[in-house]
A = this chain, B = another copy of it.
């Protein structure tokens, strides 16, 4: 997959055609995904759209689930890129403003790509267990949030809340894994806020807010600011 970068032109025409066709397949599949959802993504329909026969597709993706996995990775990357771009555009703002910028970028991307969002943050596909390949792409938004909180911490703009004793071990473990330079209570709150952010987005996207929350943008913005407060970010 991501091995054909530098040697792209050096490789023969065949290899180039391969990456091109692979991209075309993903493109067509993404189209079906956006139109009908993951459940109705049909290899045969993709093949038809590309003017090939269904069995030819198996030269590029060994199974339907592998195609889905490729789309999942792309979706994570697309979401991560959107979040990073929003963060970059707010680079000079306060940590709280950068936090909300990233969160709103996540929401915006989700609303623009509902089926792709459902693919990565909805129910996992049948027997599929997220391959390790998705991890780096999936981590991008989280890393962004960690970075924002780290900056706030360095600026002395953080106030934590005490942790219960039963959680201290796990909090320290998570801290060592994710951000050893931050206090454990902050890291814990950050991880929870990370999950809660996707709760807000998912509820809006999957219709749970129908007839409950109507004017969602200000609601989301406020919820996300309160989320930041919970992590310790001060205005």
Residues of B within 8 Å of A191, CB to CB, are 212-213, 219
CB-nearest residue of chain B to A199: B199
Interface residues on A, range: 35 or more
Chain A, 181-235, CB within 8 A of any chain B CB: 188-189, 191-192, 194-200, 202-204, 206-215, 218-219, 221-223, 226-227, 230
- Of B39, B40, B138, B169, the residue contacting A215 (CB under 8 A) is B169
Whether the pair B213, A203 counts as a contact (CB closer than 8 A) is no
Complex interface: chain B residues within 8 A of A127 (CB): 36-37
Known contacts A173-B214, A230-B226, A39 near B202 by CB under 8 Å: no
Q: Is the CB of A212 within 8 A of B178?
A: yes
Write the A166-186 contact mask toward B (1 if CB under 8 angstroms, else 0): 110110011001100000000
Q: Does A124 contact B (CB under 8 A)?
A: yes
- The answer, yes or no, to whether A129 is at the interface (CB within 8 Å) is yes
Establish whether residues A170 and B218, one from each chain, have CB atoms under 8 Å apart when the complex forms. yes
Binds B, one of A4-12, A84-92, A115-123, A148-156: A115-123
- Residue A15 lies at the interface, judged by CB distance under 8 Å to chain B: no
State the Cβ distance, A53 to closest chain B Cβ, in Å: 25
Tell me whether A82 is interfacial, beta carbon within 8 Å.
no
For the complex, what is the distance from the CA of A212 to the CA of B146, rounded to whole Å?
Answer: 13
Whether A167 and B125, one on each chain, are in contact in the complex, defined by CB atoms closer than 8 angstroms, is no
- A170 near B39 (CB under 8 angstroms)? no
How many angstroms between the C-alpha atoms of A169 and B218 in the bound complex? Answer: 10
Contacts A122-B122, A123-B123, A178-B212 given; does A199 touch B195 at CB 8 Å: yes
What are 7 contact pairs spanning A and B, CB under 8 A?
A37-B126, A124-B207, A167-B222, A170-B215, A178-B212, A196-B199, A198-B208
